[in-house]
Amino acid sequence: MGDEISKTAFTERDFQRFGARLSAETALACDWLRAGRPSEQGFAIGFELEAWLLDHASFPHPVNERFLRTLDHPLVVPELSRFNVELNCTPQPLRGYALRSAEAELEQVWAQCNAVAHGLDANMVMIGTLPTIRNEDLSLDNMSPLKRYYALNSEVLRQRGGEPIRIDISGRERLSVEHRDVMLEAATTSFQVHLKTPAHLAQDYFNASLIASGPVLAVSGNAPFLFGKSLWDETRIPLFEQAVSLSGLHEGVERVTFGRGYLNSPAHWLRENLEEYPVLLPLCFEDPAQALRHVRLHNGTIWRWNRPLLGFEEDGTPHIRIEHRILPAGPTFIDMMANAALYIGLVHYLVSVDHACTELDFSAARANFYKAARSGLSAELSWPGLGTMRADRLLAEVILGAARRGLEQFGVYADDSDRYLDVIAGRIRSGQTGAAWQRACLHARAGDWFELMATYCERQRSGAPVHQWDL
């Protein structure tokens, strides 16, 4: 979905042509995997950060066109709404001080972004869902003026037969709203980790990512509120799933999903994309089949929480990476990189050290994910050989040590591993995730959402990890 497209309306002939090219490219990609053509060269990481532009009242400020034009930075690009932007990090080999280097680059780009934002009378903030967003902010008037977004909106609504999108989330309170477009998706902002693996291991790292998602998300929550309601620790999860839902229209298929099961072959997900997911954006390209444009576009309209991606090295060699999409934006850069370190270390441990942990049933891994999204550190999670444990205890007694060993196996320097995993340990001891702090701060501010946001932004600017924030 990152590439701009040339039109916003499609005919049946467009769908037929796209389907034929998608089928041919899928067969080609599967042949490449069987023949061992994709890159086997080591591990690399990259990151995407979705952020908000706010006015001085902490409401969304729809100025990203002027912001991006003024900033003119190749690592900062538009998002669905006019009040969101995306920051990217240069991919780098996963070893040594890779995590600290990525954190430093993101902070540097963030500082440049903030300087431009201030010149537009705006502020920037990293947070999973914005407590001060209003339903009326999420209108087509605030959609970024790119054809790919209008096409996405048009096709989702067409395939829904004009039925409104219904959001129904039961958490600490209940939220039930209807919407006539896909702009609710813009209310969710994330920090996405890209882990490139040797191609023959991609299946194992994908499956391990599913297993890791529950405990990692339990300690990372930063999205407790939406439209004045206290919902899940990670309200982004049900909100995004429902915001582009086609439920009841294509039986059993959801575009935003934890998945249907573990991969049983390197090409499993490609065949599943072709056979199980109807085409959403049938834009045809003139590129040769080897560019895999149709495979990659179709995959970009299936938002698995852990999503395999096909890309290319600078020399044209194809590669596979896992896009870990579960993490929220914020609270601070060290918090986000700590979440990434926990994920990266844990999945490497699961694949390369303790294979017994990968015996967790898919249904249990999936249940862990949604329990963690709802309840954070108090969630009851399943783990092989241990039965059911509270997430904070599982993390303290099992997961942190596994992640530390995994990072060591990757060749991440011990002081970098300590820097980030000690942040996770601090959250576990204090019980203070971003979501927990937001709830406590709102209570301390007598329910004043604007005081909450003013305090949140001040603490974020300090750069201190959230477990050290006072109210």
For residue range 229-285, what is the model confidence (pLDDT) as tens digits?
999 999 999 999 999 887 655 445 789 999 999 999 889 999 999 999 999 999 899
Say what the pLDDT of residue 2 is: 52
Say what the pLDDT of residue 254 is: 84
Name which of 174, 150, 153 is nearest 162 in CA terms.
153
Of the pLDDT bands very low, low, confident and very high (cuts 50, 70, 90), residue 146 is confident
Q: What is the mean pLDDT of residues 116-130?
A: 97
50, β-bridge pairs? 86
Burial class (CB in 10 A: 0-12, 13-18, 19+), 178: exposed
pTM metric for this prediction? 0.96
Residue 426 has pLDDT above 60, yes or no: yes
CB-CB contact of 356 with 211 (8 Å):
no
Euclidean distance between CA atoms 238 and 220, whole angstroms: 16
Euclidean distance between CA atoms 254 and 244, whole angstroms: 8
> Fold for domain 12-331?
Creatine Kinase; Chain A, domain 2 (3.30.590)
User: Residue type at 350?
Assistant: L
Euclidean distance between CA atoms 133 and 239, whole angstroms: 14
Percent over 90 (pLDDT), the chain: 86
DSSP state of 176: E
Tell me the pLDDT tens digit for each residue of 159-182: 888 788 899 999 999 999 998 888
DSSP characters over 18-29? HHHHHHHHHHHH
User: Residue type at 199?
Assistant: A
* HEC-encoded secondary structure of 276-345: HCCCCCCCCCCCCHHHCHHHHHHHCCCEECEEEEEEECCCCCEEEEEEECCCECCCCHHHHHHHHHHHHH
Of the pLDDT bands very low, low, confident and very high (cuts 50, 70, 90), residue 7 is low
Of the pLDDT bands very low, low, confident and very high (cuts 50, 70, 90), residue 461 is very high
Say what the pLDDT of residue 6 is: 62
Euclidean distance between CA atoms 126 and 121, whole angstroms: 17
Q: What is the mean pLDDT of residues 124-134?
A: 97
Of the pLDDT bands very low, low, confident and very high (cuts 50, 70, 90), residue 152 is confident
Of the pLDDT bands very low, low, confident and very high (cuts 50, 70, 90), residue 8 is low
Euclidean distance between CA atoms 425 and 403, whole angstroms: 12
Of the pLDDT bands very low, low, confident and very high (cuts 50, 70, 90), residue 329 is very high
Residue 122 has pLDDT above 70, yes or no: yes
Say what the pLDDT of residue 158 is: 83
Say what the pLDDT of residue 414 is: 97
Higher pLDDT pick, 368 / 150: 368
422-440: burial string, b at 16+ Cβ within 10 Å, e else: ebbbebbeeebbbbbbbbb
Say what the pLDDT of residue 160 is: 81
Q: What is the mean pLDDT of residues 216-227?
A: 98
DSSP state of 253: -
Q: What is the mean pLDDT of residues 283-291?
A: 93
Euclidean distance between CA atoms 161 and 180, whole angstroms: 12
Residue 13 has pLDDT above 60, yes or no: yes
Counting every residue written for the chain, the total comes to 471
* 429 contacts: CB under 8 Å, gap ≥ 6: 396, 467
Give the domain ranges of the chain: 12-331
The token duo for 304 is 């698995």
Name which of 337, 290, 327 is nearest 305 in CA terms.
327
Say what the pLDDT of residue 430 is: 98
Name which of 286, 339, 344 is nearest 95 in CA terms.
344
According to DSSP, the β-strands at 387-390 and 229-230 are: unpaired
Tell me the pLDDT tens digit for each residue of 67-105: 999 999 999 999 999 999 999 999 999 999 999 999 999
Tell me the pLDDT tens digit for each residue of 367-386: 999 999 999 999 999 999 99
Radius of gyration (Cα) for the chain, nearest Å?
21
Q: What is the mean pLDDT of residues 131-143?
A: 94
Say what the pLDDT of residue 5 is: 57
Say what the pLDDT of residue 247 is: 62
Percent over 70 (pLDDT), the chain: 97
Name which of 291, 379, 388 is nearest 22 in CA terms.
291
CB-CB contact of 142 with 62 (8 Å):
yes
Secondary structure of residue 107 in the 3-state scheme: helix
Say what the pLDDT of residue 3 is: 59
CA dihedral angle for residue 233, residue 193, residue 19, residue 262, rounded to 10 degrees: -70
Euclidean distance between CA atoms 357 and 354, whole angstroms: 6
The token duo for 31 is 């042949």
DSSP state of 46: E
Mean pLDDT taken over the chain:
94
